[in-house]
Amino acid sequence: MHDHKVFVQLNELTGSGENQEWKQTARWIKYEENVEEGAERWGRPHIAPLSFQSLLNLRNFIKTGIVLLNLEANDLSLVAHRVVEQKVIDGLIHEDDKTVIVRALLLRHRHFNECSHGGIFYGSRRRLSSYTSVLSFKNDGKRPRILPATEINGHGGHSATKININDEPYTGSQEDIKMRAQNESILKRIPEGAEATTVLVGAVDFLEQPTIAFVRLAEAIPMPSITEVPIPVRFLFILLGPQKTELDYHEVGRSIATLMSNGHFQDIAYKADDRQELLSAINEFLDDSIVLPPGKWDRQELLPFEELKAKSDMIQWRKRKSMDERNKNKQPLLLVLEEEKKLLAEREGDGEGDGKKPTKNPLEKTNRLWGGLINDIKRRYPMYKSDIMDGLNTETISATIFMYFAALSTAITFGGLCSDKTNNLIGISESLLSDSIVGMVFHLLAGQPLLIIGTTGPLVLFDEALYQFCISNDFNFLTVRVYVGCWILAIALLVSAFEGSVYVRMFTRFTQDIFSALITLLFMFETAIKLVSVYTRHPLLSEYIYKNITMPQLLPIPSLDVSNGTTTIGPLKSNLTMVVNGTMGFAADFNHLLIPEDANGPRNQPNTALFCTILTLGTFSLAYYLKLFRNSHFFGRTARRALGDFGVPISIAIFVLVDYMIPQVYTEKLRVPEGLSPSDPSRRGWIIPFGGVPEWLPFMASIPALLMYILIFMETHIAELIVDKPERGLKKGSGLHMDVVLLCLLNTVCGFFGMPWHSAATVRSVTHVSAVTIMSRTHAPGDAPHIADVKEQRVSGFVVSLLVGLSVVMAPILRLIPMPVLFGVFLYLGIASMSGVQFFERLWLFLMPVKHHPQVPFVRRVQTWKMHLFTFIQILALAVMLAVKSSPFAMAFPSFLIFMVPIRKQMERFFSPLELRALDSSQPNGGTEDEPDFYEQASIPA
């Protein structure tokens, strides 16, 4: 393709008599934008729908009209004179029409952003359009010599045309300055080095038949008053004709403007040597076009967008295939050259060539011990300096602040969950400190430092199963974790030695969806179970009067009068009541309330159950609707994204404040110790002892270690593959083999200190990559923003981890967080994660008539009963995993992920490759203009 990009502007001749002028009605940067009359604004960018008749008319005009290629001219005046000279020579206009046509072409051009009042644009003496044209006439002191266009084509001959130019000074400079200021935003959308195409169409009363001129200038020249933006003009298309005609001038103008915005036609227009090449380009454009039949289009559903897109892709595929066949038949030498290039590339890949070695695919084996790990180190560590320098910028600072709140909220959430599942043996203190230490070390040494490391739902659920197993068998839970951590490292080194990471490709969407659905449902079940437990401990009673409860301490009394051996109650506050001969005092002031307690805390508190329900559902609802707000049409894109991305921290903060403002209602709070002490100093320290377990247990710990490694392997590698997708624009490579080994080493250390397990957190990693991605601000209107740059660095992740560790000083604030607020976050994580799981999309189709099924690949390319069969198999697999997770063998649920691989392999016997590609592809379904959020981009939940 040609290096130049083209900005196209359509101007139409409007008005009559003294008020006649050229008025801008549309423009093309890539898509068409029309001026919406009345609203006085630009319409939305859209693909230009063209009438077939206007394209045929355009082709006929190009065939019979004036085509001037490589015309030497330096302003619009010279172009106009040479066009009319050529028209006279070709017999398209009369000699007497030359002057009036030139006058018409040099009328004032009014752009959309210019003011239309004040008398600037009206009056016969101010309607010459080109300031440079006026200067050329005044500086010469006489009419310039006009070279006929036929001399360019080699014909010779000359005819002069006179124009009356008034010497009144040009007064449009202030308007030009205002226009430049208003156009600053649109100039950013036009690629650097772009050249303008000006299309002039209009009806006049002095011509008998329409005439056109297609002009390509030898060099692009500035024509500041005829273009909306100050870029040089390279092409002009002029169509003038009689007013009484069936020809639609506007549609013909739109047709040539759309052609000039088409990349293939642009390339030919720049290179064409004669009109025949232009005609051939128009024919190719028609061949690639799709014609819609006439009819009543009153429903958007009748326009088959997916089918139109598929037909367009098919046309392009056939065109490429035809070109390849022509090249094979007509240019056999090119095949030889291509083969030589391939052989050269292969030699270079083996290190025999002088060129730069291509990046190796991390999913391909090297067939050397630890070959993948060594390659990761060799590829990434030479870039260590740039990893630091690339993080020293304002974009990284803003990403760090954003990611701190995202990482802190998830660390608190999973820390609270871990505390609950392990009876506070591992809690908030361990979660914050381990997130900090593990994160800092990982971001210093990792092969892909954009990954965010943390505790995830599957790891906490596995720890719960391991804790229940240890309790039921009277083992020391924390000591068993030490041996599990040691075995994890040994397994990781063994798998890495044989490059086992390449087998992550066997975990297709079929398995990922089942795993994601399991974790999603467990999050929602966990929320329901916790709320039920709140109602069990604090039921809704008709009366809350406590009887026969031993008073653990006396109720504070404001004043006591003691005299003559008799205790007299002095003046009490109105809200205080003493139960005579009872066992308890009651006060409305909650700070002085004596409440019934057991080993697990207060019970039977009024309003607690309902208030906890409000906190849970309120936290979930606010976070979820802020997520939806991200793709709404309110406010600007930046504000929407900020509110949507900070939805969880905002929700936590608001409902913590709500709980704080209602102290009369009891709610269970997050348990956070002071300083750097463990969550329960009375039961554990920071160094976990080795002893206290049977001698065979260290060896048996290899079994849960293997199951834990499966979770870490799957979560980390899937996160790595999602982050390293080609469309994300990362250039420094991944750490597919290296990072999982590093994580297992860090988890071994976590085991010695009784800290939570860690893996790559998919949602947080996608969030981090998005935060350090700089999107384009200069894309064409109508185009989706594309990635301009990605700050691949280690600084943001390291600083985020450091700040999370320093958050332990916020213990007094963290102790204000009610547990029901965290229940709401669990529910949000479960519901939000469903949006990225195709399994749930197909599950809803069971309840939907076929006519209402969405036009997505797995619906269009697979028979309905086979699609439901695929979903039903996943339902059975999910049911088995849920049953295992709820059984005494809950620790074994990761092993069932391995069993999904052979099951998926056997499905190839019942489904064709095309059907499996539609059902099991990792590609998004598309069909929506909304920007996918982080949960939709991640294939597994938090």
The C-alpha atoms of residue 816 and residue 810 are separated, in whole angstroms, by: 10
Is residue 285 predicted with pLDDT exceeding 60? yes
Q: Which two tokens stand for residue 323?
A: 């070109």
Q: Are 129 and 22 in contact (CB under 8 A)?
A: yes
Q: What is the largest CA-CA distance in the chain?
A: 138
Task: Supply the pLDDT for residue 554.
Answer: 37
Q: Are 709 and 758 in contact (CB under 8 A)?
A: no
Nearest CA among 76, 125, 121 for reference residue 101: 76
Q: Are strands 195-204 and 233-242 parallel, antiparallel or unpaired?
A: parallel
Is residue 355 predicted with pLDDT exceeding 80? no
What's the length of the chain? 942
Task: Supply the pLDDT for residue 67.
Answer: 92
Determine the residue type at 351. G
Q: Are 222 and 233 in contact (CB under 8 A)?
A: yes
Q: What is the per-residue DSSP string for 201-241?
A: EEEESS-SS-EEEEEEEEEEE--TTTSSSS--EEEEEEEEE
Task: Supply the pLDDT for residue 438.
Answer: 92
Angle at the Cα of 394 (from 390 to 396), degrees rounded to 5? 55
For residue 451, report the phi and psi dihedrals to the nearest 5 degrees: -65, 145
Is residue 727 predicted with pLDDT exceeding 50? yes
Helices (H), 774-889: 795-806, 811-814, 819-833, 838-844, 857-860, 864-885
The C-alpha atoms of residue 781 and residue 46 are separated, in whole angstroms, by: 9
CA 441 to chain centre: 29
How does pLDDT run across 795-804, given as a tens digit for each residue?
999 999 998 8
For residue 805, report the phi and psi dihedrals to the nearest 5 degrees: -65, -40
Residue 538 in 3-state DSSP?
coil
Q: Are 751 and 486 in contact (CB under 8 A)?
A: yes
DSSP state of 466: H
Is residue 351 predicted with pLDDT exceeding 50? no
- Other beta carbons within 10 angstroms of residue 222's beta carbon come to 17
Q: Which two tokens stand for residue 923?
A: 């590609």
**Confidence class of residue 201 from pLDDT cuts 50, 70 and 90?**
very high
Is residue 272 predicted with pLDDT exceeding 70? yes
Is residue 586 predicted with pLDDT exceeding 90? no
Q: What CATH number does domain 6-291 carry, 2.70.170.10, 3.40.930.10, 3.90.1200.10, 3.40.718.10?
A: 3.40.930.10
How does pLDDT run across 655-713, given as a tens digit for each residue?
999 988 988 888 888 777 777 777 778 787 788 887 777 888 888 888 889 989 988 98
Helices (H), 473-508: 477-497
How does pLDDT run across 149-184, given as a tens digit for each residue?
333 333 333 333 444 434 344 444 455 555 555 567
How does pLDDT run across 418-445, given as a tens digit for each residue?
888 888 888 888 888 888 999 999 999 9
Is residue 339 predicted with pLDDT exceeding 80? no
Is residue 236 predicted with pLDDT exceeding 90? yes
Nearest CA among 878, 928, 867 for reference residue 903: 878
Determine the residue type at 779. H
- Other beta carbons within 10 angstroms of residue 788's beta carbon come to 13
Q: Where are the beta strands (DSSP E) in 677-718?
A: none
Percentage of residues of the chain with pLDDT beyond 90: 14
Task: Supply the pLDDT for residue 58.
Answer: 92
The C-alpha atoms of residue 759 and residue 435 are separated, in whole angstroms, by: 10
What would the mean pLDDT of 723-746 be, rounded to a whole number?
A: 86
How does pLDDT run across 98-114, given as a tens digit for each residue?
888 888 888 888 887 76
Exposed / middle / buried, residue 861 (Cβ in 10 Å: 0-12, 13-18, 19+): middle
Q: Are 407 and 804 in contact (CB under 8 A)?
A: yes
CA distances from 204 to 103, 181, 242, 335 (A): 12, 34, 5, 56
**Confidence class of residue 905 from pLDDT cuts 50, 70 and 90?**
confident
**Confidence class of residue 643 from pLDDT cuts 50, 70 and 90?**
confident
**Confidence class of residue 546 from pLDDT cuts 50, 70 and 90?**
low
Q: Where are the beta strands (DSSP E) in 709-843?
A: 759-760, 773-775, 787-790
The C-alpha atoms of residue 21 and residue 23 are separated, in whole angstroms, by: 6
Is residue 10 predicted with pLDDT exceeding 80? yes
Is residue 926 predicted with pLDDT exceeding 60? no
Task: Supply the pLDDT for residue 938.
Answer: 58
Exposed / middle / buried, residue 385 (Cβ in 10 Å: 0-12, 13-18, 19+): exposed
CA 137 to chain centre: 55
The C-alpha atoms of residue 170 and residue 134 are separated, in whole angstroms, by: 8
Q: Are strands 21-28 and 6-14 parallel, antiparallel or unpaired?
A: antiparallel
Determine the residue type at 565. G
- Highest averaged pLDDT of the listed ranges 337-341, 628-632, 714-718: 714-718
Q: Are 907 and 873 in contact (CB under 8 A)?
A: yes
Angle at the Cα of 935 (from 808 to 406), degrees rounded to 5? 20
CA 855 to chain centre: 22
Is residue 592 predicted with pLDDT exceeding 50? no
Q: Are strands 195-204 and 6-14 parallel, antiparallel or unpaired?
A: parallel
For residues 591 and 230, which has the higher predicted lDDT (pLDDT)?
A: 230
Q: Are 23 and 33 in contact (CB under 8 A)?
A: no
Tracing tokens 């797995």 back to the chain, one arrives at 858
Is residue 274 predicted with pLDDT exceeding 70? yes
Tracing tokens 């709070």 back to the chain, one arrives at 669
Task: Supply the pLDDT for residue 903.
Answer: 87
> Which residues is 586 bridged to in the sheet?
577
Q: What is the per-residue DSSP string for 63-92?
A: HHSEEEEEE--SSHHHHHHHHHHHHHHTTS
Nearest CA among 689, 329, 703 for reference residue 491: 703
How does pLDDT run across 297-328, given as a tens digit for each residue?
777 767 777 677 777 777 777 777 776 666 66
**Confidence class of residue 743 from pLDDT cuts 50, 70 and 90?**
very high
The C-alpha atoms of residue 717 and residue 720 are separated, in whole angstroms, by: 5
DSSP state of 907: G
Q: Which two tokens stand for residue 85?
A: 């000279």
Mean pLDDT, the chain, integer: 77
Task: Supply the pLDDT for residue 270.
Answer: 92
Is residue 234 predicted with pLDDT exceeding 90? yes
